[in-house]
């Protein structure tokens, strides 16, 4: 499994076998899973693109600004 932090976006998880939330196993949407980091997704724990709409900036982007 590989986890990547996407700048100003979600965590990308490649090769996940299963995700568990509140004791329930979640169906994986595909071979790569994108997990919300901004807190604005309506489909948590998955990213739904809301980070772009709210202008989410991670710390590395803030440091560069
Ligand atoms: S990181 Fe994409 S909706 Fe939160």
Q: What are phi and psi of 14, to 5 degrees?
A: -100, 135
Helix, strand, coil content of the chain in percent (nearest 5):
15, 30, 55
35 lines ligand 1 (CB under 6 A): no
DSSP 42: T
What gap in Å lies between CA 27 and CA 25, rounded to an integer? 7
Tokens representing 57 are 């900036």
Q: Does residue 11 lie within any of the structural domains?
A: yes
Instruction: Report the number of distinct structural domains present in the chain.
Output: 1
Of all helices (H) and strands (E), which one includes residue 51? helix 50-54
Q: Does residue 47 lie within any of the structural domains?
A: no
Q: Does residue 8 lie within any of the structural domains?
A: yes
Domain that holds residue 13: 1-37
Q: Does residue 25 lie within any of the structural domains?
A: yes
For the segment 1-57, what is each residue's pLDDT rounded down to a tens digit?
899 999 999 999 998 888 888 999 988 888 899 999 999 999 999 999 999 999 999
Predicted confidence at residue 60, as pLDDT, reads: 66
**Residue in 38, 46, 55, 58 to alter for ligand 1 test, most ligand atoms within 8 A of Cβ:** 38
50 CA closest ligand 1 atom index = 3
């Amino acid at each position: 499994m590989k986890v990547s932090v996407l700048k100003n976006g979600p965590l990308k998880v490649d090769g996940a076998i299963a995700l568990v939330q509140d004791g329930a196993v979640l169906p994986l949407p595909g071979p790569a899973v994108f997990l919300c980091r901004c807190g604005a997704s309506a489909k948590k724990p998955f990213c739904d693109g809301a980070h772009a709409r709210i202008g989410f900036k991670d710390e590395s982007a803030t440091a560069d600004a």
